[in-house]
Structure 1
Amino acid sequence: MTSPAPHPPRPGAGRADRAAMLRVDQAGEFGAVRIYAGQLAVLGDRHPMSRQIAHMAAQEERHRAHFDRMIVERGVRPTILQPFWHVAGFALGAATALIGPEAAMACTAAIETEIDDHYGRQLEEIGEDDPALSGAIEEFQAEEVEHRDTAIAHGAEAAPAYPLLFGMIRLGCRAAIALSQRF
């Protein structure tokens, strides 16, 4: 008598992959909050862009809080790099704002472009296996796209050396994603 064939692997991400997803998503939202804090520290609350930046920061804070709860509920270890992202995020936000408001918007456009791609890959990987996680990612992805579009509408592409700045920030974002998934 032959034994039954093993079940084929389920589509979507496994538990370890989901833990890495949550770890990097929480770290990314934390970093975004810090970037906007750096931008607002330089631009102040009287700059015409400050209201838009504060609105985006509030959305990022809501995203971060949601992923904080999911990490606790699912017993996922957060990234050990959070102290570094605390400083690096603020520094990136402040540095781009010091260059000018267009550079601050270029920073947002670059990061949100990368995060849109990142969240899209995660949604493909999860499929319908984890509605709580995929639902949060879908909702937050739509807001990240809104942030990117707002940044472009408010002069991101007019930043000095925009293609170089955009490309370097996206590259840094990819590195942060890879490091936060692992560590």
Structure 2
Amino acid sequence: MRPQSLSVLDRAIVGFDKALRAVIPNSNPSTRPLPVDSDALPELSINEARHVAGLMRINHTGEVCAQGLYHGQALTAKNDTVREAMHHSAEEEIDHLVWCETRLNELSSHPSVFTPIWYGLSFGMGAAAGLISNEFSLGFVAETEAQVSEHLQDHISQLPKQDQRTAQILQQMDIEELQHRSAAIDHGGTPLAPPVRITMRWLANQMKAVAYHL
């Protein structure tokens, strides 16, 4: 059933369910297996495992934020085409969320304890962007995905050489984040003003600093 065919109450219930699934670990089914060549787990030292877990906690937080952003934008989108695009991107990002959770579990680690806060803040920013205009909202997505791609590539460069498992997961995520960026631009996203881009980067850096540890 298409979201716009639901009643207001039904949409609220569906939205609440999606929010819960975004913030409660291991509550989402993945439609695709991990994008890895082997099921063998790499051998990592205690310090290496701790560092990889910190990086994956950041990436998991980024995927939680993506869910919040897309859900907020879908709520306030000004036409059905953009709303459907936001829903579609959010659904694709669920696989990324599950992949990050899976790798954290393998490392005997956990997502950020502030996950509900990250989701709530991102939902608010997404809803506000959607209220401004479709073009700004889609431009916000495009800039977000560009910055996500940057930190994914940075994380890949920081991984221990033997941890190809994590590297392959992040490489596939990077490919798809850039596809989402292109889709946002194709749907009419416009470049954001430099102060907005700088503020977004600053907020992302604060999130990463906290999520690495907590």
TM-score exceeds 0.5: yes
111, 114, 121: which one pairs with 1:81?
Answer: 114
The equivalent of 1:20 in structure 2 is 54
- Matching residue within 159, 177, 184 for 1:151: 184
Q: Is the 8 A contact 2:74 2:84 kept in 1?
A: no
Structure 1: state its 5+ residue gaps. 1-9
1:100 aligns with 2:133: yes
Larger Rg: 1
Name the SS of the counterpart of 1:14 in structure 2. Answer: helix
**Conserved in 1, the CA contact under 8 Å of 2:74 and 2:87?**
yes
Percent identical across equivalent pairs? 22
The one-letter amino acid paired with 2:114 is L
Matched, 1:55 2:101: no
How far apart, CA to CA, are the structure 1 residues paired with 2:95 and 2:63?
Answer: 9
8 A contact 2:69–2:127 mirrored in 1: yes
RMSD over aligned Cα, in angstroms? 2.0
User: Would the aligned equivalents of 2:89 and 2:180 in 1 still touch at CA under 8 Å?
Assistant: yes
Unaligned runs of 5+ in 2: 1-43
The answer to whether 1:175 aligns with 2:209 is no
CA distance in structure 2 between the partners assigned to 1:164 and 1:48 by the alignment: 28
C-alpha displacement at 1:182, in angstroms? 2.3
Aligned residue identity for 2:54? A
Give the whole-Å Cα distance in 2 for the aligned partners of 1:145 and 1:127: 24
User: Distance in 1 between the 2:117 and 2:62 partners?
Assistant: 12
| Mapping of residues 122-133 of structure 1, within 5 Å | 122-126=155-159, 128-133=161-166
What is aligned with 2:173? 140
Aligned with 1:143: secondary structure?
Answer: helix
Give the ranges of 4+ consecutive aligned residues of structure 1 lying more than 3 Å apart after TM superposition. none
Letter paired with 1:42: T
Give me the whole-angstrom Cα distance separating, in 1, the residues matched to 2:175 and 2:94: 15
Number of residue-to-residue matches in the alignment: 169
- Larger relative contact order, structure 1 or 2 (CA cutoff 8 Å, min sep 6): 1
